[in-house]
Amino acid sequence: MELKTNHAAPVLTDPPSISKSRLGLHSSLLPYSQQGASFSSGKYINIPRKKPGKLDDVRSNGWLDAMKSSSPPRKKLNKDFNIEVASDDVDNAYCSWMLKHPSALNSFERITNFARNKKIAIFLDYDGTLSPIVDDPDRAIMSNAMRSAVRNVAKHFPTAIISGRSRDKVYDLVGLTELYYAGSHGMDIMGPLTNTDSNDHPNCVKSTDQQGKEVNLFQPAREFIPMINEVFRTLVENTKGIKGAKVENHKFCTSVHYRNVDEKNWSTIAQIVHDILKDYPRLRLTHGRKVLEVRPVIDWNKGKAVEFLLESLGLNGRDDVLPIYIGDDRTDEDAFKFLKKKKKRGYGILVSPGPKETSAFYSLKDPSEVMEFLKSLVRWKEEEEEAN
């Protein structure tokens, strides 16, 4: 592929950026990244609400655009984004983007040079990162080779999975006891019990894990469980006539999948979720890959979860620590932003086969490259240990 950096490259956003003021949006309908949350556990985000009675249609408020642009297969980029470019231009766009977000594999030596004499902490998203995206969320099975790569990484570095799925579900899928797990986009964290400030955090309780080991359980949205259950049941009921729709209950949030729904019914799905949110002002919408997610309006996300876990591990804010976060989705951007905040605090790595707006520093194409990167880290660490 030829590199042409002077070409005006179309960088694709996922979902597309929408002018709030132009559309006069109900802010709970906006993609999460547009809402500007700030840290403070358990506090609500201050979201100005529209006057009741003035409801947007899902078409005019940008939901449908965001739904269409979520998770486009690379070969369909031009069509899905209505960009009139030849496929060479898409390749050029990708190359230009790669200059800004180089491959973590090609930059491996740079990464390890920076990591030398530092303690690395690894944070991994699940879907699209450790397992490829598939049509049925229940069949997103991680390969044994990937499991073994993650197990080996965890032998050398503290390692956590940060997923949008419920913590129990992602634990069942990964099946490794040596990791820390954060489910429901970080709203359900099982971390180490240590003598750090994180133990005194409100919403933190001592608990035991599957092996009976004492752990720290942090659930800042606990009070929302009955509400999420109620919304889950209503969503199941209201979408049951839509072929291919699937609703998941993640305990602190709920997801409505439309990957397998005929595109002509997407507006119906959107309208159903939109109508439910009208009745629950303490819940809001975020967009994932062909999924609408309903979650509490609390100031908590995957970035906060990374900070919390680093704090629990006694690793937060230290110059001798290098956190690395690998993820593929919009919700991973909060973690990338957290690592980027202070210069060189850590590396975000976006998993994407095409250009995407991101706060990640590096990129990897797909889960097989993620596995290669994890294996390389282990090899490097073992060589370092042997040499010392």
Ligand X SMILES: O=P(O)(O)OC[C@H]1O[C@H](O[C@H]2O[C@H](CO)[C@@H](O)[C@H](O)[C@H]2O)[C@H](O)[C@@H](O)[C@@H]1O
> Judged by CB under 6 A, which of 10, 72, 164, 303 binds ligand X?
164
Burial of 365 (0-12, 13-18, 19+ CB in 10 A): middle
By CB under 6 A, name the one of 9, 62, 127, 273 that touches ligand X: 127
* Least Å from the CB of residue 33 to ligand X: 15
Residue 350 contacts ligand X per CB under 6 A? no
Nearer to ligand X, 3 or 134 (CB): 134
What is the residue type of 245?
Answer: A
CA distance 285 to 67: 12
Of the candidate spans 21-29, 109-117, 132-140, 339-347, the one that interacts with ligand X by CB under 6 A turns out to be: 132-140
Residue 125 lies near ligand X (rule: CB under 6 A): yes
Dihedral angle sign, alpha carbons of residues 135, 63, 300, 252: negative
Find the shortest distance in angstroms from Cβ 202 to ligand X. 25
Q: Could you tell me the smallest distance in angstroms from the CB atom of residue 256 to ligand X?
A: 9
Nearest residue relative to ligand X (C-beta): 164
Beta bridge partners of 254: 249, 294
Q: Is 287 in the site for ligand X (CB under 6 A)?
A: no
DSSP secondary structure of 136-185? SGGG-PPPHHHHHHHHHHHHHS-EEEE-SS-HHHHHHHH--TTSEEEEGG
Site for ligand X in 68-97 (CB under 6 A): none
Active-site residue set? 125
128 binds ligand X (CB under 6 A): yes
Q: Which is nearer to ligand X, 77 or 130 (CB)?
A: 130
> What is the gyration radius of the CA atoms in the chain, in angstroms?
21
Under the binding rule (CB under 6 A), the answer on residue 329 touching ligand X is: yes
Q: How far apart are CA 277 and CA 164, in angstroms?
A: 19
Closest CA to 165 of 141, 185, 140: 185
Per CB under 6 A, the list member of 289, 295, 304, 340 interacting with ligand X is 289
